[in-house]
Amino acid sequence: MSKRVVHYINQFFANIGGEEMAHIEPELREGIVGPGMALNAAWKGEAEIVNTIVCGDSYFAEHEAEAKEKILNWVKEIKPDFFIAGPAFNAGRYGYACANICVAVQELGIPVLTGMYQENPGADYKEKILIVATRDSAAGMRQAAPTMAKLALKIMNGEKLGASCEDGYMNNGIRVNFFEKERGAKRAVDMLINKLNGKPFVTEYPMPSFDRVAPNHAIKDLSKATIALCTSGGIVPKGNPDHIESSSASHYGEYNIAGVDDLTSETFETAHGGYDPIYANEDPDRVLPVDVMRDLEKEGKIGKLHDYYYATVGNGTAVASAKKFAAEYAQKLLAAGVDAVIMTST
């Protein structure tokens, strides 16, 4: 008898829509939807997806308690042998939802598995649940699905897990010994030869990589400089017209402040979900200091405050996403002749 599996996916992989449909509430469907087909095919009848749960990324982020309660009630009724979520790749809110719902289902005594890119905010849960490491986009589905399916079946069959490098899951801090086929000296020489010949090789002891950003030269004359404001503190026009997420932001906003001398509670607010918004909403200048910059402008201490500012939410946002945002609007700032940027956080 094949194992019964419940699969969790978001609105995009359910083919409902993209960001414009991220608000949909959880729904329970019979059988397989979207990426579940690849998982089912890999199991070859030893396991099958009996139900698929679909939930919008924004809905889960903004109504986490309600979403969890509904999903857990369905899982309790179905009583599956296994619960699998994703893969989420580098989609921040999707990864957060996959990881959190897996943690909750695991507490019911049901084994779980999810998959995502290593920089996804959901990957922070790798010490609580098993997470398969995937590429950063859905282009990696062909590699991710078989790896997740194989590991899931191994868990369902009660087999002992191998090391993370063997079974494809993220290093969770638990050491598992295994024997390499070749001794260390030969492996080291093989790596060196590959490196000298420009061929690909994989180190067995990867070193952390840290960004080193060289500072630009100081501005010689601030009184003639155009200064721009940017923020990860989520300050947006009232109503959050671009629907920037409160956590794990997938985009940023560009807003015109030409002629604006003061950010008020009637016109601006914060979309950020990672700090108490009361003081920022009372006076948004506390996070994005437009009022102070206007004073400096009037006093002649700076030449001009740029007409546009760029804002996103840093709460849980993937590093790769943040880099992508900055690289994009930096080109706009350069094209506009901006001399310097003040980046504020919270």
Q: Give CA–CA dist 122/100, Å, rounded.
A: 8
What token pair was written down for 141?
């589905």
Q: Average the pLDDT over 47-65 and give the result.
A: 93
pLDDT of residue 175: 65
Residues written for the chain? 346
pLDDT digits (tens, 9 = 90+) for 100-157: 999 999 999 999 999 999 888 888 899 899 999 999 888 889 899 999 999 999 999 9
270 forms bridges with which residues in the sheet? 235
What integer pLDDT is reported at residue 65 of this predicted model?
93
In this prediction, residue 178 has a pLDDT band, given cuts at 50, 70 and 90, of low
Domain locations in the chain as residue ranges? 3-167, 222-344
pLDDT of residue 202: 81
> For residue 216, what pLDDT band results from cuts at 50, 70 and 90?
confident
Q: Which pLDDT tens digit goes with each residue over 240-249?
A: 999 998 877 8
Give the separation between CA 177 and CA 162, rounded to whole angstroms.
8
Residue-wise pLDDT for 160-174, tens only, equals 888 777 788 887 666
Amino acid 172: pLDDT: 67
Q: How confident is the model at residue 176 (pLDDT cuts 50, 70, 90)?
A: low
Which residue is listed with tokens 């760029």? Answer: 310
φ, ψ (nearest 5 deg) of residue 125: -90, 15
User: Residue 174 has what pLDDT?
Assistant: 64
How much is the pLDDT for 297?
96
Predicted confidence (pLDDT) at residue 184 exceeds the cutoff of 90: no
* Residue 287, pLDDT above cutoff 70: yes
Q: Output the average pLDDT for the chain.
A: 91
**Among 59, 61, 53, 65, CA closest to 25:** 59
Task: Indicate the pTM of the whole model.
Answer: 0.65
| pLDDT for the residue numbered 170 | 85
The confidence band for 261, taking pLDDT boundaries of 50, 70 and 90, is very high
- Decide if pLDDT at 177 tops 90: no
Of 49, 107, 38, 46, residue with least CA distance to 80? 49
Mean pLDDT across 13-28: 91
CA–CA distance, 21 with 66 (Å, rounded to integer): 18
- Residue 113: what pLDDT? 96
Q: How far apart are the first and last CA of the chain?
A: 54
The CATH fold assigned to 3-167 is Rossmann fold (3.40.50)
Query: What are the structure tokens assigned to 189, written together?
Result: 């020489």
The pLDDT assigned to 341 comes to 96
Q: What is the pLDDT of residues 297-332, one digit of tens each?
A: 999 999 999 999 999 998 878 787 888 999 999 999
Please give the pLDDT value at position 138: 85
Count CA atoms closer than 13 A to 74's CA, side-chain side: 22
What is the predicted pLDDT for the residue at 124?
Answer: 87
